[in-house]
Structure 1
């Protein structure tokens, strides 16, 4: 009798609810709510993502998207080389269709007191005021057509915690440090700044 009750109870357990999120490809309008998706079991968040790339004061890329995502992908990542600054935001929530609004623009952040070196032409000794969550100094050495090129600037903790993945993606040596102006070193020409910016979206979406 007890076995029959157990079997009956198993067949009448409530089904685990599947999270449903708005989905639109990167590059779509930030408010797109035309398509929905039932998330896979491990994707327990709805996300609204945004990638903004600045060249000086000019916005040269502003990419929006929405989808199911994972808790460890709900990040705000920033890397600032002075000449370019790239900000990635993935704003997350945990209820059905809660990602109707676009991710906010967090690029208008203020200097946080941290200072790092950046490159200007042949010199990599320009002082750069870090902004927002950029609490680390970063150096990336990239091979461009057989020549070594250096980029220096500010970066967020999330970006610096994935230097191995970033180095593998762009074929560069990447290092981060925490003290003011700790990214000093031999002077080299700054080039290919957008190379890092273009890979940030892939970096933060890695498992």
Structure 2
């Protein structure tokens, strides 16, 4: 969490402040008050990652926010799924309450390819608002590792997509048709993706 200090310093360099927000970060949830840059917003986020039905990550945060961080979305690779629920507001200390826990959602009729090990011929039923198929290629240590699955539109477009791409040093492609993310045989790295999702949500 040490990364939040230089980021906040850069964001808050101007001397004119107009909005106070509660700040709560993992491991330091004291609900202290901070000043946000005009025209800033206050934000609350709840991020949960699952491996199967088991939670492997459960984080609540509060802080200043930008519009790109005010979203609800999920990214689903079959054996792991990350959900984000966020809410923003623009009055002093308006982010005092936690957002509701992200829900798993029901199958929505969309199907995408996914990977089990290096076999990417399997199919995955998308859940909730996962209305796109996704393919990502992460460059880690000079090795390209790819993943496939379902994602919400908010993951695939605009500032969030650009932030994820730069954070993961990745190529990320989304499409809307069933099984449109094809079925090449590729590898899988889940920890990198989950870590990157959390970093974007907390610090972007």
By the TM > 0.5 criterion, same fold? yes
**Aligned 1:41-60 pairs, distance under 5 A:** 41-43=38-40, 45-60=41-56
Counterparts of 2:179 and 2:77, CA distance in 1: 13
TM-score, normalising length: structure 2? 0.80
Counterparts of 1:53 and 1:27, CA distance in 2: 18
**Aligned 1:154-173 pairs, distance under 5 A:** 154-161=150-157, 162-173=160-171
**Aligned 1:41-120 pairs, distance under 5 A:** 41-43=38-40, 45-120=41-116
Larger radius of gyration: 1
Q: Does 1:24 align with 2:21?
A: no
* Structure 1 gaps, min length 5: 1-15
* Structure 2 gaps, min length 5: 1-15
Summarize deviations over 1:148-196 as a string: whole Å, max 9, x none: 432110011121114444233223322111101101132123x212211
Of 176, 193, 196, the match for 1:196: 193
Of 35, 39, 42, the match for 1:38: 35
Counterparts of 1:70 and 1:167, CA distance in 2: 18
Secondary structure at the counterpart of residue 194 of structure 2: helix
Deviation at 1:145, TM superposition (A): 5.5
Residues 76 and 95 of structure 1: is their aligned pair in 2 closer, same or farther, counting only changes over 3 Å?
A: same
Counterparts of 1:145 and 1:73, CA distance in 2: 28
Residues 134 and 27 of structure 1: is their aligned pair in 2 closer, same or farther, counting only changes over 3 Å?
A: farther
Would you say the 8 A contact 1:42–1:70 is kept in 2? no
Counterparts of 2:165 and 2:198, CA distance in 1: 14
Residues 20 and 142 of structure 1: is their aligned pair in 2 closer, same or farther, counting only changes over 3 Å?
A: closer
Q: How many residues align?
A: 187
State the partner residue of 1:181. 179
**Aligned 1:129-168 pairs, distance under 5 A:** 129-143=125-139, 147-161=143-157, 162-168=160-166
Counterparts of 1:53 and 1:204, CA distance in 2: 13
C-alpha RMSD of the superposition: 2.4
